[in-house]
Structure 1
Amino acid sequence: MRSPELVCPAGSLPALKVAVDHGADAVYIGLKDATNARNFAGLNFDAAAAREGVRYAHSRGRRVLMAINTYPQAGDEKKWRTAVDAAADLGVDAVIMADMALLDYAAKTHPRMRRHLSVQGSATNYEAINLCRDWFGIERVVLPRVLTIDQVAHVIANTDVEVEVFGFGSLCVMVEGRCLLSSYATGDSPNTAGVCSPARAVRWQESPSGTQARLSGILIDEYSPDEPAGYPTLCKGRFAVASETYYALEEPTSLNVIELLPELLRIGVSAIKVEGRQRSPAYVTAVTSVLREAIDSAVAAGDGRFHVKPQWQQALGRVAEGQQVTLGAYNRPWK
Structure 2
Amino acid sequence: MHNDKHNPAGKPELVCPAGSLRALQLAVDAGADAVYLGLRNATNARNFAGLNFDDGQLREGVAHAHARGAQVLMALNTYARADDEATWYAAVDAAVDLGADALICADTAVMAHARRQHPGLRLHLSVQASATSHEAIAFYRRRYGVERAVLPRVLTLSQVGHVLRNTDVEIEVFGFGSLCVMVEGRCALSSYATGQSPNNAGVCSPPSAVRWHDTQEGVEARLNGLLIDRYAASEPRGYPTLCKGRFNVNGRRDYALEEPTSLNTLAILPELIGMGVRAIKIEGRQRSPAYVQQVTRVWRAAIDAAAAAPDRYRVLPEWTATLGHLAEGQQHTLGALDRPWR
User: If the length of structure 2 is used for normalisation, what is the TM-score?
Assistant: 0.93
Match of 2:319 among 312, 319, 322: 312
Deviates more, 1:163-172 or 1:240-249: 240-249
Correspondence 1:23 to 2:26: no
Matches within 5 A, 1:51-66: 51-66=59-74
How far apart in 1 are the matches of 2:54 and 2:118? 21
Q: How does 1:86-101 map to 2 (within 5 A)?
A: 86-101=94-109
Post-superposition offset of 1:292? 0.5
Q: Following TM superposition, by how much is the alpha carbon of 1:204 offset from its aligned partner in structure 2, in angstroms?
A: 2.7
Q: CA deviation at 1:177?
A: 5.1
Q: Are the equivalent residues in 2 in contact too, given 1:64–1:94 (CA < 8 A)?
A: yes
Judge which range, 146-155 or 265-274, deviates more: 146-155
- Partner of residue 3, structure 1: 11
1:290 to 287, 294, 298: 298
Counterpart mapping for 1:123-134 below 5 A? 123-134=131-142
Amino acid at match of 1:145: R
CA–CA distance in structure 1, aligned partners of residues 96 and 73 of structure 2: 11
Query: Do the aligned partners of 1:96 and 1:115 also contact (CA within 8 Å) in 2?
Result: yes
TM-score of the superposed pair, with normalisation by structure 1 = 0.95
Task: Check if 1:138 corresponds to 2:138.
Answer: no
**1:121-146 CA distance string (max 9 Å, x none):** 00000000010001011100000011
Aligned to 2:251: 243
The equivalent residue for 2:266 is 258
Q: Which runs of 5 or more structure 1 residues have no equivalent in the other structure? A: none
Q: Could you say which residue in structure 2 is the equivalent of 1:183?
A: 191
Task: State the shift of 1:109 in Å.
Answer: 1.5
Q: Which moved more, 1:118-127 or 1:217-226?
A: 217-226
Q: In the TM superposition, what are the counterparts of 1:143-158 in structure 2 within 5 Å? A: 143-158=151-166
1:106 CA drift (Å):
1.2
User: Deviation per CA, 1:297-328, whole angstroms, max 9, x where unpaired?
Assistant: 011104x3212211111111111100010111
Q: Is the 8 A contact 2:262 2:328 kept in 1?
A: yes
How far 1:265 sits from its partner (Å)? 0.9
Task: Determine the structure 2 residue equivalent to 1:279.
Answer: 287
**Partner SS, residue 189 of structure 2:** coil
Q: In structure 2, how many angstroms separate the alpha carbons of the residues matched to 1:320 and 1:253?
A: 7
Deviation of the 1:277 alpha carbon? 0.7
Match of 2:336 in 1: 329
- The amino acid across from 1:190 in the alignment is P
**1:76 CA displacement:** 1.9
- 1:301 aligns to 2:334 (yes or no): no
Distance in structure 1 (CA, Å) of the matches to 2:212 and 2:40: 24
Contact 1:72 1:192 in 2 (8 A): no
Q: Is the 8 A contact 2:47 2:200 kept in 1?
A: no
1:71 to partner: Cα distance: 1.1
Q: Deviations over 1:210-269 (max 9, x none)?
A: 432221111222233323322221111122223332211110001111111111111100
Percent identity of equivalent pairs: 66
Distance 1:105 1:180, change over 3 A: farther
Aligned-CA RMSD value: 1.5
Q: What are the residue-to-residue correspondences of 1:108-119 with 2, within 5 Å?
A: 108-119=116-127
Residue deviations 1:84-113, cap 9 Å, x none? 121111110111011111111111122221
How far apart are the structure 2 equivalents of 1:221 and 1:35? Answer: 32
Letter in 1 for 2:86: K
* Cα separation, 1, equivalents of 2:216 and 2:91: 47
Task: Determine helix, strand or coil for the equivalent of 2:267.
Answer: helix
